[in-house]
Amino acid sequence: MVENARRKARAVAPPAAGLVIACDTDVVLDGEVLGKPANPAEARAYLDRMSGRGHTVMSGLVVVEDGEERSGLERSEVVFKALGDAAKQRYVDFGEWRGRSGGYAIQTLGSTLVERLEGSVSNVVGLPVGLLAELAPVLFERAGASDGW
């Protein structure tokens, strides 16, 4: 994941000045990376496999600022509810699995699939904001603020 993010960053990084943020997020179940489902049948198969089980969401993040590269890896654990056939089909029919690693998006209807989450919800969304704050604190500084956030 970090290497994929690094490739993305280097594809657009200016040579000496500026800021580039690149992230690559994957869903891992039983040691296998679940990519983006190719079709509704594969999206349904992902839901069948993840129903009632936990999986790991991992994001590699690379920040290139003024030619300096910093990187990190964030992990979150997500446990899905035991999903009935109707819930799975509703989600597949809704279509938000398209273009999503693991075939779901936690920030919208996909939140109804989740029983619990340990770690960063922003990581599961696809941009680990806490890690970004560590790698590029200048993005989160407020002029004149003494309390930080």
pLDDT per position as a tens digit, 36-95: 999 999 999 999 999 999 999 999 999 998 888 999 999 999 999 999 999 999 999 999
What CATH code is assigned to 2-135? 3.90.950.10
- pLDDT greater than 80 at residue 145: no
CA 60 – CA 79 distance, rounded (Å): 21
Could you give the CA distance from residue 46 to residue 28 in angstroms, rounded to a whole number?
11
The closest alpha carbon to 102, from 37, 31, 5, belongs to: 37
- Torsion angle (degrees, nearest 10) of CA 109, 115, 118, 121: 10
> What is the enclosing helix (H) or strand (E) of 131?
helix 129-135
Catalytic residue among 24, 26, 30, 147: 24
d(CA 26, CA 30): 13
Taking residues 122-126, what's their average pLDDT? 96
Q: State the pLDDT confidence band at 139, using cuts at 50, 70 and 90.
A: confident
Residue (of 46, 28, 56, 55) closest to 96 by Cα position: 46
Task: Tell me, yes or no, if 24 is annotated catalytic.
Answer: yes
Q: Which of 117, 49, 55, 57 is nearest to 88 (CA)?
A: 49
